[in-house]
Amino acid sequence: MGFEWAQKWPEVDPDSELVFVSVGCPVQKLFDHTFSRQSAFSDSFHAAVKHLEVDTEEWQGVPESDIQKKREVKFKDGSSKFVSGGFPVFEEQTLLSSKDSKVFVMKATVRTPTVPYGDNLSVDVTYCIAAYDENSSFLRLSFEINYVKPTVMRHFINSGVEGALRENFGKYKQILSNFEDVCDVTKAQRANFKKSEATNEPVPDFLDVVQDLMSPQQGTQAPGRSLFLLLVPIYFVVVGLVYGDAMWDLPDNLLEAGNTVMAVLVVQRVLLEYRHTIRRVVEALTRCVVRAQTKRRASQARQAEQEEERAHQIVRRESMRVVAEAQAVAGG
């Protein structure tokens, strides 16, 4: 699927981003983790952030919309040490999903009317979930504070709300990693996301290009077809420059080209499916290298200290010898 989902996600201020990760599971499974009424992950998250007496309604369809749904979630927040039994929280969840169920955008509007200044504002937490391929997804969470009444305490309220959100969704990310492979989105993925979001066009993926070539729609030309057809003659020109007359041995060169393409496909698929494992291996190797460097530096420091101590001992012995000789001369 690539990054074409980016155009369906709302734009957010980078400072309001709470979580942006890739998750090693299908998009529907990731959605069910968070929003299913009976989910081990959801139960673990509510327990971790001390949500008590959680009451989640069924999704209700929105008139004149086949992809939008709403529901109410009520619970008590037991995280405060000053409110016995917790204070009530009302959360209205509005879900917008793609017709193929590959992209979900869910806005949760949270209100806490009984806490001080709670009736002055509401907090929107936006969950953006999208499929990258059949076995992996992207998840981005962001927030926005909306005031319905002016208050001079706005700065302090913003700081407190943001701190609580980052603490809670830090736990969300940690708990999710107990169920699935979770990795922070890389700089390259962010660049692709921003490019796709800015141009409103999907970033072509090499696998998609080849797949389009294998099964192009009748009467249309696949997006990557022209690119691939451009690369093929360039490949043969390079072969001709390198191998000369071997350029005309078309069957062998075509076979070599096919093998090259298949090798690239296999490597990309392996990297795609095992990227989380590869990242963990790289991180483990990095830690080993750092530990080895630390041990080597410590060993070098000990050797330097030993050399310095030996030098001091030589100086002391030489000094004692000179003193002894001087005393002997004086006594004679």
Helix, strand and coil percent figures for the chain, each rounded to 5: 55, 20, 25
Beta bridge partners of 92: 72, 109
Look at residue 247 and tell me if it is in a domain.
yes
Look at residue 172 and tell me if it is in a domain.
yes
Domains contained in the chain, number: 2
Distance CA 199, CA 51 (A): 41
Q: Are 202 and 212 in contact (CB under 8 A)?
A: no
300-to-53, 90, 310 alpha-carbon distances in Å? 60, 61, 15
Looking at this protein, which amino acid is placed at residue 280?
A: R
Both 182 and 211 in one domain: the answer is: no
Task: Count the Cβ atoms, other than its own, within 10 Å of residue 88.
Answer: 17
* Residue 31 three-state SS: helix
The helix (H) or strand (E) run that includes residue 90 is strand 87-97
Higher pLDDT, 33 or 237: 33
Distance CA 225, CA 222 (A): 5
Both 234 and 98 in one domain: the answer is: no
Q: 17-23 and 182-184: which strand pairing?
A: antiparallel
Look at residue 326 and tell me if it is in a domain.
no
Both 169 and 223 in one domain: the answer is: no
The length of the chain, given as a count of residues: 332
Looking at this protein, which amino acid is placed at residue 289?
A: V
Question: Quick one: pLDDT at residue 180?
Answer: 93
Q: Which of 233, 252, 273 is the last residue of a domain?
A: 273
Token pair belonging to 172: 């969300």
Q: Which of 178, 199, 220 is the last residue of a domain?
A: 199
Asked whether the predicted pLDDT for residue 127 surpasses 80, the reply is: yes
Both 102 and 144 in one domain: the answer is: yes
Both 260 and 137 in one domain: the answer is: no
Question: Quick one: pLDDT at residue 296?
Answer: 84
Task: Count the Cβ atoms, other than its own, within 10 Å of residue 154.
Answer: 14
pLDDT band at 218 (very low <50, low <70, confident <90, very high): very low
Look at residue 324 and tell me if it is in a domain.
no
DSSP string, 195-229: HHHHHTSPPP-HHHHHHHHHSPPTTS--TTHHHHH
Distance CA 168, CA 201 (A): 34
Q: State the CATH number of the domain containing residue 189.
A: 3.30.530.20
Q: Are 11 and 39 in contact (CB under 8 A)?
A: no
Distance CA 78, CA 89 (A): 10
Token pair belonging to 106: 């869910």
Question: Quick one: pLDDT at residue 245?
Answer: 47
Asked whether the predicted pLDDT for residue 214 surpasses 50, the reply is: no
Q: Spell out the residues 6+ positions from residue 174 whose beta carbon is closer than 8 angstroms to its own.
A: none
Both 58 and 127 in one domain: the answer is: yes
Question: Quick one: pLDDT at residue 115?
Answer: 87
Question: Quick one: pLDDT at residue 253?
Answer: 46
Q: Spell out the residues 6+ positions from residue 267 whose beta carbon is closer than 8 angstroms to its own.
A: none
Both 167 and 210 in one domain: the answer is: no
Instruction: Name the residue range of residue 150's domain.
Output: 4-199
Look at residue 51 and tell me if it is in a domain.
yes
pTM of whole model > 0.75? Answer: no
Distance of CA 325 to the CA centre of its chain: 75
Per-range mean pLDDT, top range of 1-5, 21-25, 212-216, 262-266: 21-25
Q: Which of 225, 250, 273 is the last residue of a domain?
A: 273
Both 18 and 166 in one domain: the answer is: yes
Q: 17-23 and 87-97: which strand pairing?
A: unpaired
pLDDT per residue as tens digits for the range 255-287? 444 555 555 555 555 556 666 677 777 777 787
Average pLDDT of every residue of the chain? 76
